[in-house]
Amino acid sequence: VSRSSAPRLVWCQWALIGDRIERGVEIEIRHGRFTRIARGVGPAAGATVRHGVSLPAAANVHSHAFHRALRHHSQVGGSGRGTFWTWREQMYDVAARLEPDTYHELAADVFAEMAAAGYSAVGEFHYVHHRSDGTPYPEPGAMADALVGAAADAGVRITLLDTLYVHGGIDEHGRYTLPSARQRRFVDAGADAWAERLRGHRFAAHARVGAAVHSVRAVDPQAIAVAAAVAADLGVVLHAHVSEQPAENDRSRAGLGGTPVEALAAAGALGPRFTAVHATHLTDHDIALLGGSGSFVAACPTTEADLGDGIGPFRRLADAGVTITIGSDSHAVIDPFAELRAIEWGERTRRRERGVFTTIELLGMLADGHRALGWDDAGAIASGSRADLVTVALDTARTSGAGDDPDAIAAAAALSATAADVTHVTIDGTDLPSARLTSGASIVR
Ligand SMILES: [Zn+2]
């Protein structure tokens, strides 16, 4: 990512500053950072003018890039009837075909789609580590490097969440099972082998490493404790899939004597650098543990709807102290605004009441995820922050009619806009080329 050293000015018709939609905002950008913000001003000579409403660009906290290949190919009319578990078999078929070069090509298109939709950073929850027969590549980080290179191609930052995966699952008697043939390429010999690869990654400036444990199904409590200690030692974030399905909770209780959140808490995983992905089927105790520890949740509501997972208790989590962030996970759609609507509409449908989250709270979820990915200096239009912006048009068929009312403009962005209404994206001070905003995905299948 090239950065001009000369300061430049961007004038926004409307912009989200803190928790307010402000009119006439002048932003100075220098060395990829916001250096000065002025409100209530007109456009200066030479300033880049952005009509519509500009927001801090979004963080996509949970992604498996290769799942994008299943879009259009796993629905009713094809082979789509089924459950999360039948979908998982289709997903394993795609995973079996990936190699570093094809994964780079596929992921570059997926990350370009994200950037065009307004995401400036992605958390790639990466577990396709080895060859399909389970033997390591000569360069142990070959697949991780393919993903990091793809993010560079697309112009987005990436947190490569190198994921520990040890077991096939937990059986009905509560015992860990051996990996299946198709899980072999995900599996490390143990937490120490995983930690060695994690410590060996050397990435360019747009990328950083994070840690992940796949789930309590795939990682036993002793290995989770090692992973948590390694993440703390390296000062990197730690993510885990948590309670996406009721069956996962049943097996956790049978094998571990508690819920996945309880098992993760006992292993020392929770805290302000921890993100629970999904957090769909939680007990009151789980919610208290996540909130009390200052953990993040990565809500993936379009995926959770697509897979029939359920509706997560996002309002209760937020009230308990959890920071709610978003992820597009399986990439059934890649649209940060669709995630916000799905969070709010899921809660409204379940509660039969309106306004569960305020529109400003929803817009905050777009960018709060940068901290969950370890980019603590991103996610706000504020002096000193990384210069990430997404501008949403207010004159399209979907967004027109908000007028000069800041509340209506916030609602237009949070509850009516789509990725197609995004007109400009700036990442670390660099404007995304407009050609990339219309990039079609040439996905290998
Ligand atoms: Zn996932």
pLDDT tens digits for 26-45?
Answer: 999 999 999 999 999 999 99
State residue 263's pLDDT score. 98
Give 64 Cα–ligand 1 centroid separation in angstroms.
6
Give 138 Cα–ligand 1 centroid separation in angstroms.
27
Give 206 Cα–ligand 1 centroid separation in angstroms.
22
**Encoding tokens for residue 137?**
């590549």
Query: Whole-prediction pTM value?
Result: 0.95
Give 278 Cα–ligand 1 centroid separation in angstroms.
8
Asked if 275 and 61 touch (Cβ cutoff 8 Å), the reply is yes
Per-residue pLDDT averaged across 88-113, rounded?
A: 88
Q: What are the residues whose beta carbons fall under 8 Å from the beta carbon of 94, sequence distance 6 or more?
A: 66, 67, 69, 70, 445
Nearest one of 319, 316, 414, 332 to 62, comparing CA atoms: 332
Confidence of residue 436 (pLDDT cuts 50, 70, 90): low
Report the residue count for the chain.
Answer: 445
Per-residue pLDDT averaged across 279-285, rounded?
A: 98
Give 67 Cα–ligand 1 centroid separation in angstroms.
9
Q: Are strands 169-170 and 119-126 parallel, antiparallel or unpaired?
A: unpaired
Give 418 Cα–ligand 1 centroid separation in angstroms.
23
Catalytic residue among 188, 329, 335, 421: 329
CA distance 282 to 74: 28
State residue 443's pLDDT score. 42
State residue 445's pLDDT score. 35
Per-residue pLDDT averaged across 78-105, rounded?
A: 80
Mean pLDDT of the chain: 93
State residue 112's pLDDT score. 93
Does residue 4 surpass a pLDDT of 80? no
Catalytic residue among 278, 281, 331, 424: 278
Amino acid letter at 107?
Answer: A
Per-residue pLDDT tens over the stretch 381-419: 999 999 999 999 999 999 999 999 999 999 999 999 999
- DSSP H helices in 6-123: 84-95, 100-117
User: Is 281 a known active-site residue?
Assistant: no
State residue 80's pLDDT score. 56
Q: How many CB atoms lie under 10 A from the CB of residue 178?
A: 10
**Encoding tokens for residue 114?**
């994200």
Q: Name residue 212's beta-bridge partners.
A: 163, 239
- DSSP H helices in 155-220: 191-200
User: Is 278 a known active-site residue?
Assistant: yes
Per-residue pLDDT averaged across 148-153, rounded?
A: 97
CA distance 62 to 427: 19
Does residue 75 surpass a pLDDT of 60? yes
State residue 435's pLDDT score. 58
Torsion of CA 281, 65, 204, 373, to 10 degrees: -20
- DSSP H helices in 352-390: 359-372
